[in-house]
Amino acid sequence: MKILVVYAHPEANSYNGTLLAATRETLAAEGHELVVSDLYAQGFNAVAGPHDVTGRADKDRFSLGVEQMHAAQTNGFAADVQAELDKLMAADVLILQFPMWWFSMPAIMKGWIDRIFACGVAYEHGRTWKKGVFAGRRAMIAITVSAPAEAFLPDGKNGDMERVLWPVHAGVLGLCGYSVLPPFVAHGIPFCGEEAMAAQLETYRDRLRSLESTEPLFFHMGDDLDEHRLRSDVEPRTPGQHRGPRYHMAEPH
Amino acid sequence: MKILVVYAHPEANSYNGTLLAATRETLAAEGHELVVSDLYAQGFNAVAGPHDVTGRADKDRFSLGVEQMHAAQTNGFAADVQAELDKLMAADVLILQFPMWWFSMPAIMKGWIDRIFACGVAYEHGRTWKKGVFAGRRAMIAITVSAPAEAFLPDGKNGDMERVLWPVHAGVLGLCGYSVLPPFVAHGIPFCGEEAMAAQLETYRDRLRSLESTEPLFFHMGDDLDEHRLRSDVEPRTPGQHRGPRYHMAEPH
């Protein structure tokens, strides 16, 4: 398979660098064709804006979605965007590898998503989830976290990791149609020590060897939905959806 | 009060621009002192890296947290970081205003957090949550979303908005000690039409006028915690924590 690893870490001599080296080795041994976008090494521009496109649908007023759509229709993406788009569209499997910073991804990785998951190419109205552009392809995130695993358990002080990852799993990968594999999460980096880090590296190699056979995560889509909400007879069974009480926002009317 | 608005939108002539103009007007009328960091207009560098610091604790190996801590101890932040840090440290209230892109913030806003919420200044080991640097100060996010409100209800197709916002509310603002105010969320932008957009603008003005009196969100901290987890006799009551089943990750052992 063709596999694209998008990698965001400022230091090659890091545990993330070790994971990337293991990725190259393991996927090559499995006979896969690997392409790596090393965003820091490339000096990737993280900021989506008018420089993403070579022409304009509206010269006076820049709307990212509108101009991405226009660029998609006119072959008008800037060279750095088009180069990454070509890699993305060619890949059977997408792996996003990054250290978790602030319960999310480094800005340079978020910028890759803002700019490359372009409207009109990676998604558009009516082409999401089941009908998504990447339906039939697989995606996975591989992250390192400084906190121990306990802190991200369901009753952990940081909240449940599967809820923390919902915006990426559902809001980026699932929405664009990918079959999303369970995340690889290395915990306690680097505080857990050499031995535990080596053990987690082996777990990651196993995950890389089973990319094709791993069961994807479940998301509600298609017939489970009634326009914007779950059908009333569908029992929510994802980390993002529920019918229990709210705590931070007003209950629905 | 001194209020810092960090604003991330590539187009001044946008609904976000309208919200920002209303912010300037409303807060001035209330007698507050407003500082705006308009990240796109400033050409803010979104990417955290070695350029954030002028000296190094470790010249061979760049660790963001380690070098931020070193810079904090040696007055060694790069000028663009220090300028934003000065604004952040002076502000009684922090407002992050942005369009929701991919269930999260634009990369340029995430980069502001990665670079400015620096270890050794905005947080450090033992200085989080109740003992956080910003304890006693207030923070709020103000966002625009293209989807209608229904899509982000608890059983909405996108998942519950309060869970989508957990990484920002808990993982950035709460963790650093802020009293986090309920988010302002403008839905259906721009599809809801002029009238609904104008109504949401008025709601936002009301929120700005009540920054000092609004009840903050609840988070578990201090005595509710037993090292990394909630105490077993504490009932979880936040969007991030629970003791129900998991759906995307393995149950705890």
Query: Does residue A235 form part of some domain?
Result: no
Domain containing A148 equals: 2-221
Q: What does B221-250 look like in DSSP terms, one character per residue?
A: -GGGEETTEE-TTSPP-SSS--SS--SSSP
Cis check: omega of the bond before B190, within 30 degrees of 0: yes
For A129, nearest residue in chain B (alpha carbons): B157
What distance in Å separates the CA atoms of residue A148 and residue A156, rounded to the nearest whole number?
Answer: 10
Q: What is the arithmetic mean of pLDDT over B167-176?
A: 98
DSSP state of A169: I
As a dihedral over the C-alpha atoms of residue B81, residue B86, residue B89, residue B90, rounded to 10 degrees, the angle is -150
* Least CB–CB distance from B10: residue in A62, A106, A161: A62
Tell whether the model's pLDDT for residue A201 goes beyond 90.
yes
Structure tokens at A113: 């998503």
Question: In Å, how far are A70, A181, B46 from A203, measured between CA atoms?
Answer: 43, 15, 32
The per-residue b/e assignment along B232-246, b for 16 or more CB within 10 angstroms, e otherwise, is eeeebebbbbbeeeb
What integer best gives the mean pLDDT of chain A? 97
Averaged pLDDT for residues A231-248:
98
Q: Please state, in angstroms and rounded to a whole number, the distance separating the CA atoms of residues A135 and A18.
A: 31
Query: What are the tokens at A141?
Result: 């995130």
Alpha carbon distance B111, B205 (integer Å): 27
Confirm whether A228 is domain-assigned. Answer: no
Q: Is it the case that residue A252 has pLDDT exceeding 90? A: no
Instruction: Quote the DSSP letter at residue B174.
Output: I
Looking at chain A, which residue has its C-alpha nearest residue B16? A63
Is A241 an 8 Å CB contact of chain B?
yes
pLDDT at residue A239 in the model: 98
Domain with residue A127: its CATH number is: 3.40.50.360
Q: Is B224's pLDDT higher than 80?
A: yes
**What is the per-residue pLDDT for A253?**
73
Dump pLDDT digits (tens) for A35-55: 999 999 999 999 999 999 999
Share of chain A above pLDDT 70, in %: 100
Contact B163 A239 (CB under 8 A): yes
Q: Rounded distance, CA A86 to CA A91, Å? A: 9
Interchain CB distance below 8 Å, B155 and A241: yes
CB B237 within 8 A of CB A247: yes
Residue B224 lies in a domain: no
- Dihedral in degrees, nearest 10, Cα atoms A142, A147, A152, A156: 180
Chain B residues touching residue A50 (CB < 8 angstroms): 10
Tokens linked to B78 = 């790069």
pLDDT at B71 over 80: yes
CA distance A250 to chain B (A): 9
The end-to-end CA distance of chain A, in Å, is 48
CA A109 to chain B, closest CA, distance in angstroms equals 8
Q: Say if A246 falls within a structural domain.
A: no
CA atoms within 13 A on the CB side of B10: 22
**Structure confidence at residue A57 (pLDDT):** 98
State the total domains in chain B.
1
| pLDDT, position B253 | 73
Quick one: CA dihedral A126, A131, A133, A138, positive or negative? positive
Per residue in A41-90, pLDDT tens? 999 999 999 999 999 999 999 999 999 999 999 999 999 999 999 999 99
**Tokens representing B115?**
């670079």
Query: B16-42 in b/e burial notation, b at 16+ Cβ within 10 A?
Result: bebbbeebeebbeeeebebebbbbbee
Confidence at residue B252, expressed as pLDDT on a 0 to 100 scale: 81
How far is C-alpha A159 from the geometric centre of its chain's CA atoms? 20
- Tell me whether residue B135 is exposed, middle or buried, using C-beta atoms within 10 angstroms of its C-beta: 0 to 12, 13 to 18, 19 or more: middle
Does residue A163 contact residue B239 with C-beta atoms inside 8 Å? yes
Note whether residue B227 is domain-resident: no
* C-alpha distance from B1 to closest chain A C-alpha (Å): 25
Q: In A, which residues are within 8 Å of B157 by CB distance?
A: 220-221, 225, 228-230
Separation in Å, CA of A3 to nearest CA in chain B: 23
Residue A77 has phi, psi (to 5 degrees) of -85, 145
**A163, part of any domain:** yes
Report if residue B127 sits inside a domain.
yes
Q: Which residues pair with A7 in a beta bridge?
A: A38, A97
Distance CA A96, CA A16 (A): 12
Residue A103: per-residue pLDDT:
98
Does residue A253 lie within any of the structural domains? Answer: no
CB-based contact B62 A11, cutoff 8 Å: yes
Containing H/E element for A99? Answer: strand A93-99
**ipTM of predicted complex:** 0.98
Q: Concatenated DSSP letters for B66-119?
A: HHHHHHHHHT-B-HHHHHHHHHHHH-SEEEEEEE-BTTB--HHHHHHHHHHS-B
Contact A106 B60 (CB under 8 A): no
Name which of A105-109, A142-146, B55-59, B124-128 the model is least confident about. Answer: B124-128
